[in-house]
Amino acid sequence: MTDPSAATPSHVGHSGPIDLHVGDVVGDRYELRRELGRGVRGLVFEAVHQFTGRSVALKVIAQDSPAGQRPELNARLAREARALASVTHPGVVEVLDGGFLQDGTPFVVMEMLEGRTLEGLIATRGKLTVEDTVAIALQLSAALDAAHAAGIVHRDVKPSNVLIVKDHARHEVIKLVDFGLARLEASKERLTGIGALIGTPAYMAPEQLLALEDIDNRSDIYALGVLMFECLSGRMPYEGTYPEVLLAVCSTDPPPKLATGPAGLGAIVLQAMAKERPDRFGWMKDFAKAIRAALPNAREHTELFGPRPSASGAPETASRVAEGARRKLPRAPYVTPVRILMGDLTIDGRTEDISTGGLLVVCHQVCPTDTRATLRFALPIEGTVASVDVQVRWHKAARQDDPRGLRALGVEFLDVPADVKASIARYVSLMGETAP
């Protein structure tokens, strides 16, 4: 792999950053098919290797990022590539390649993951079962333990950076993504030019909120504890803006009690969230060991999409019926940005799954139900942008008392062009999922 942390190539001659679009070819081999996501730290496309035909995720710094921040953003992307390349674990997204655009901007190529984000699942369901929460925690702890063994602290463990995908055996696998804020303990590098606050306040340990220099693996332990607290209770232990969370976390008040789940599990979660680092678990393996001791029969895999089919096609656990089987139309996980247009109201979000009948959308805006709208999104296979007449059938807030929190929308297609419907049907058939 080309080292994206190397000096900018001497042959670069462009006067400004390159603006990438679907259809462009990056690195003379990756054709961009559709946009997967856009954030402060980067832009992610689905791309296809022109020789092998393999679909990949290609991440690059957005062209419209502030000029003064681009050097540090480029350095962060290079650091993410190095972090991912140093960790080999099925629970960590795999880096495959990398290189430079003609203007010297680095790009990183990673395995393509089609699944549901944990954030989207929480938005839709409010909270998860104890069994699924424990399975998520055990898989994430193993992935983070591998990262810590390689000298890497993730520093941004949260539901939006957790994907649930299916492996070849049809098991649900938890994948940890976005190492853009990761810290390499062996490196002298300190990137703080875009603000000293590194992470998402609600999931940040006190030492991160205080922007201390000596961040270590116990910050990730704290974040995983908060993630479990949210999955089990449907709420956050500390909510609000950065100053509000900082004040609550650093106060002398005891942490909030976890009212859901076995008492032993609650005590484990609260120990992971201890305000003082010495009071937390020392290592991820200690965290996982405590969970297994409290719940010796805990399963390692989630059943968030329903029980895994057996060889006969029947669910492995007769006590549960896959919710997808109760749906009128089969659907498959599909993450891509969407825009909903309702007169003067514009709602930007992303889809979490798709069927020929509609989409599940997550966003941060209040959306009126039973209202017709126009929805724009990229088709799963071709990547072309489609505009479809829709109706928002239902609207659910992940936390009713948080007006700024994530929301889930059930969007029904009203008038779908034949070619769009056929494209969606092909994708759902290829993916073979019925995600609830």
- Averaged over successive runs of 10 residues, the pLDDT of the chain (436 residues) comes to 38 53 92 83 88 94 77 84 89 92 89 91 90 96 95 92 88 89 61 54 90 89 96 87 83 76 87 94 97 92 72 43 54 89 90 92 85 91 89 82 78 92 91 56
DSSP string, 272-294: HT-SSGGGS-SSHHHHHHHHHHH
Q: Which helix (H) or strand (E) holds 2?
A: none
Longest dimension (CA), the chain: 64
Res 359: pLDDT = 92
Q: How far apart are CA 347 and CA 7, in angstroms?
A: 40
Dig out the tokens for 430 from the structure.
């290829």
Reported residue count of the chain is: 436
Count CB neighbours of 338 within 10 A.
Answer: 20
Beta bridge pairs of residue 69: none
Question: Residue 233, SS3?
Answer: helix
Domains parsed from the chain with CATH numbers: 25-111 (3.30.200.20), 116-190+198-294 (1.10.510.10), 330-431 (2.40.10.220)
Q: How far apart are CA 172 and CA 190, in angstroms?
A: 36
- Kindly report the backbone phi and psi dihedral angles of residue 21, in degrees, each rounded to the nearest multiple of 5, phi listed first: -140, 160
Residue 343 φ/ψ region, left for φ over 0, alpha for ψ in the -120 to 50 degree band, beta for the rest: left
Beta bridge pairs of residue 395: 409
Query: What single DSSP character describes residue 309?
Result: B
Beta bridge pairs of residue 165: 173
CB 17 within 8 A of CB 70: yes
Res 292: pLDDT = 95
Res 434: pLDDT = 47
Q: What angle do CA 52, 56, 59 make, to 5 degrees?
A: 135
CB 58 within 8 A of CB 93: no
Question: What sign for the dihedral angle of Cα 160, 166, 168, 169?
Answer: positive
HEC secondary structure over 133-145 = HHHHHHHHHHHHH
Res 20: pLDDT = 86
Q: How far apart are CA 265 and CA 258, in angstroms?
A: 9
Q: How far apart are CA 423 and CA 333, in angstroms?
A: 15
The per-type count for the chain, helices as H runs and strands as E runs, is: 9, 17
Q: How far apart are CA 205 and CA 218, in angstroms?
A: 8
Active site residues: 156
Question: What's the Cα-to-Cα distance from 420 to each of 78, 355, 392, rounded to whole Å?
Answer: 37, 11, 19
